[in-house]
Amino acid sequence: MAWALVWLLVCSRRGKRADAAILMMVVAGFIKHNLIAIPVASLAWLWIGEDRRLAARLTLVGGLGAGAGLATCTMIYGQAFLTQIFLFSRVISPARVFTELFKPLALAVALYVGLTWAWRCRRGAASARFVLTFTVVALAVFIIERAGDGVDCNAMFELVLAAAVGLGLGVERMEGGWLARKLGLPRARLIVLAALLAPLLATPDMRPYLLIVSPDYRAAALSASRAADAEVARVRAIPGKVYCTTTIVCFWAGKAFVYDPWAMGQRVATGRWSRERLDRALALAAIKTEIISQDFPMH
């Protein structure tokens, strides 16, 4: 999706046809269906004033491509495909948005730098107008998607990309900002980058560096790997349909994906199914539930 965006921007700048770029976005959307901010922002940017003729053409091409894709997938997978995409039962809670909105400090800093620069330059630079459009659309999509139960970092992909684009342009062209005027451009850039890197280095996702520096971490990782191998072997030997409480174990064991506990849990939580109906369905389908050893952590 990101490369399709780059392709479209290059085609727009050079006055070339961008049909293939918008179709690449459509294909990416069928791989990860919540990536909608990029095509929406791209078309909105063109419609707002960059090239309305191109916007009309790409809107038509993208709409036809998406329609053809939906029709093809419906023929292959049946009505369930449309139901899963458009009519999925999910608990919605706006409060979830505000508990996580700017938890990543680095993202907040990047958004501030990019939006500040884009707003200041919005009337004179197409790049600034694009950053502003992209960031606003990505933020709106993030808020809508993050309100859904079970949607975590998936809602943030395009917002992170928008922040990265805005940050890159903002840092490159921050000579007019108050921080650059006060401290000088090189020092101001270093301060912004340090404000981004410091919280990133402190996040739990950076733990894999312990594989190099910590013998205890390596030992724990090896123990977890052996526990996983043992669980996979155990599940593989179970006949019939099996659901694993850690789903990847069933996948590694070669078991078919027969039960989605989260999706069915949402149906129960929203009142579309009762717990009794779900239990009867599981029993009728003869699906065995296997509790996976806690010696095998998910992360």
The three-class DSSP label of residue 122 is coil
| pLDDT score of 265 more than 60 | yes
| pLDDT score of 96 more than 90 | no
Mean pLDDT of the 77-100 span: 81
Give the closest residue to 163 by CA, choosing from 105, 211, 220: 105
Question: pLDDT grade, residue 133 (50/70/90)?
Answer: confident
Question: Among 12-21, 33-42, 71-80, 277-286, whose mean pLDDT is lowest?
Answer: 12-21
- Predicted pLDDT of residue 178: 67
- Predicted pLDDT of residue 192: 77
Question: pLDDT grade, residue 143 (50/70/90)?
Answer: confident
- Predicted pLDDT of residue 75: 94
DSSP per residue, 222-282: HHHHHHHHHHHHHHHTS-SEEEESSHHHHHHTT------HHHHHHHHHTTSS-HHHHHHHH
Question: Among 5-9, 94-98, 228-232, whose mean pLDDT is lowest?
Answer: 94-98
Rg for the chain (alpha carbons), in Å?
A: 24
Q: Which residue has the higher pLDDT, 194 or 47?
A: 47
CA angle 17, 19, 20 (to 5 degrees): 110
Q: Which residue has the higher pLDDT, 294 or 203?
A: 294
Residue ranges of the alpha helices (H) in 87-214?
95-100, 105-121, 126-146, 157-172, 178-183, 185-201, 210-213
* Domain ranges (residues) in the chain: 1-89, 91-202, 215-290
The residue written with tokens 């950076």 in the block is 206
How far apart CA 95 and CA 53 sit, in angstroms, is 41
CB 172 within 8 A of CB 121: no
The residue type of 60 is: L
| pLDDT score of 219 more than 60 | yes
- Predicted pLDDT of residue 39: 94
Mean pLDDT of the 244-265 span: 91
